[in-house]
Chain A
Amino acid sequence: MAADMRLPTIQKPVSLTFSAFDRKDLVVPGDVITSDTGFMRGHGTYVDEEKLTASVAGEVQRVDKLICVKPLKTRFNGEVGDVVVGRITEVQQKRWKVETNSRLDSVLLLSSVNLPGGELRRRSAEDELTMREYLQEGDLISAEVQSVFSDGALSLHTRSLKYGKLGQGVLVQLSPSLIKRQKTHFHNLPCGASMILGNNGFVWLYPTPEQLEEEAGGFYTSLEPVSVSDREVISRLRNCLLALAAHKVLLFDTSVLYCYESSVHHQVKDILKPEVMEEIVMLTQQKLLDQEG
């Protein structure tokens, strides 16, 4: 088997918008943002001797009187309504602990899941005992943020048919800041696969289910073999996602799709080669700009 070896090189992210350089709104920890006391202190800032000071490195965001600094890279700061993809880490009494790239593990209460046998079923003691049969450690789920606890932990729910246990597919872990907020995070891509863009940076790629009407949200996972063509599409998508992430392109259905389209001339495994990556991302950005303009 031929292996492709190369020397390490420094890669610069390709960007069509050159305005990124010398931006004034970038601060580093300890930078004083303003000494005007009229502003409110938001995330990523603190007040030191009446001066509003940044505590993280990132860009300053101002909403009316509120000043925040958004770090480049951070753990997921969930908000109510966010779609997340997560992994069960622990089964406790009446709740599951879910790792969602948040700074504390999220909680999925037994009462926040749809159990087989109707939405309004009472949770019995028996259910508590069989919790592990529904979801066990290591299982992946998609869910929505129901509420945020005072210590910042998230409470999740899967009370919709679109959420629930995930079956066969590929998980890609990316930075949460790359996920663009949209109306929907569930996409059936025309290329033949589906994608859940979790707000927490976890992206789930899976073959498009055949019957959408089938009772989903359950705890059943299909173990049917997936066809080679589907697997190739999913792999290509995964690599496209990585390419986009490497060049800090925001992820949403269109950007992923354009990227997928741009990559079809290359073999799946070649996409991760830096020069190919660069070319594909360039094309994608071009297309995005065209579409905007």
Chain B
Amino acid sequence: MGNVVQRQTRGALRFQLFRKMAGLELLSDQGYRLDGRKATELRKFQARMGVFAQADGSAYLEQGNTKALAVVYGPHEVRGARSRIRHDRAVINCQYSMATFSTAERKRRPHGDRKSTEMSLHLKQTFEAAVMTQLYPRSQIDIYVKILQSDGGNYSVCVNAATLAVIDAGIPMRDYVCACTVGFVDETPLADLCYAEEGGGVSSLALALLPRGGQIALLQMDARLHQDHLEALIEAAMTACKGVSKVLDQVVRQHLQEASVPSAE
């Protein structure tokens, strides 16, 4: 049994050493990612619409282990500063927050930090592009999103959850807004990154798409990527977003079937 003992000690030593040096292999030669998906495969979706009775619209979405709750209030009278009133359209108010227990290390501030503020702003921009705000002058639409568990692609999951909530609230939109985070590894774009992949030094890009028209609602990227690869990456992101839209479509139709009032009259 001498063999086994030695193997353990040496294995442990080497392991510590090489994990630092080698990093994680994000895409194996056989084309599988860390969690067993292929490059273009999305994570598992689970969604429910109308989870709250009080809110005008609400939705819960799980994309793999990233879980988000979105709630929509409105359109309603503008609360607070009257100066925000727009006479030609509704204002959209977004708030992004992360539950303190959503990450591996407990968060101190659930919202209001720089990252959350930025994310809120991104969400606002995304939905201003999709919601037909001009139909509701002088009013306000609130979109609150909370990440309950974070495992990568927070922005995308929030957008997708918020889309469902907005639809649930019966607020007119041009189209679904579908978002997906993609990364670039070994000349291959990976769709729907999980946390381990996002952290693995991948240049990642988040894209929100109105799938039917192919318009981009928001494209965000803060990593370095060579220009030549950008097109391929955006292409992959669009494909992934279309995949997301198919899943969301199913969810919405299912919900419609279940929730529609039987037209008795």
Contacts and interface: CB of A to CB of B under 8 A. Distances in A.
Interface string B219-258: 0000000000000000000000000000001001101111
Interface in A150-174: 151-153
Given A55-B174, A103-B75, A104-B139, A73 B168 contact: yes
Contacts of B168: 57, 72-73
A29 B138 contact: no
B221 to A, nearest CB: 26
B257 A248 contact: no
Contact of B261 (A72, A75, A97): A72
B252 A19 contact: no
A177 B77 CA distance: 21
A211 B70 CA distance: 49
Nearest to B249: A28
B75 A22 contact: no
B204 to A, nearest CB: 27
A30 B172 contact: no
Interface of chain A, main secondary structure: loop
Nearest to A26: B256
Interface size range on A against B: 35 or more
A283 interface: no
A15 B170 contact: no
Contacts of A72: 168, 170, 256, 259-261
Interface in A1-38: 12-13, 15, 17, 19-23, 26, 28-30
Interface hub of B169, B175, B262 (most chain A Cβ within 10 A): B262
B99 interface: no
A44 interface: yes
A250 interface: yes
Given A26-B253, A30-B176, A103 B261 contact: no
Contact of A21 (B50, B255, B257, B259): B257
Interface residues of B, number: 39
Contacts of B249: 28
A257 B257 CA distance: 27
Nearest to A17: B262
Interface in B146-187: 167-176
B197 interface: no
Given A55-B132, A104-B139, A151-B137, A30 B258 contact: no
Given A20-B262, A72-B259, A104-B138, A46 B170 contact: no
Given A28-B256, A30-B212, A248-B262, A48 B75 contact: no
A181 to B, nearest CB: 10
Contacts of B210: 30
A30 B174 contact: yes
Given A72-B256, A104-B138, A151-B138, A58 B170 contact: yes
A248 B264 CA distance: 11
B64 interface: no
Nearest to A89: B77
B257 A26 contact: yes
B256 A29 contact: no
A103 B74 contact: yes
Contacts of A261: none
A29 to B, nearest CB: 5
Given A46-B174, A55-B174, A105-B77, A29 B167 contact: yes
Q: Which 7 A-B pairs have the closest CB atoms?
A: A71-B170, A55-B172, A74-B170, A30-B175, A103-B75, A105-B77, A29-B173
Interface of B: 50, 56-57, 74-77, 132, 136-139, 167-176, 210-213, 249, 252-253, 255-264
14 contacts: A17-B262, A28-B252, A28-B253, A29-B175, A56-B172, A57-B170, A57-B252, A71-B170, A72-B259, A73-B56, A75-B76, A99-B77, A248-B259, A248-B262
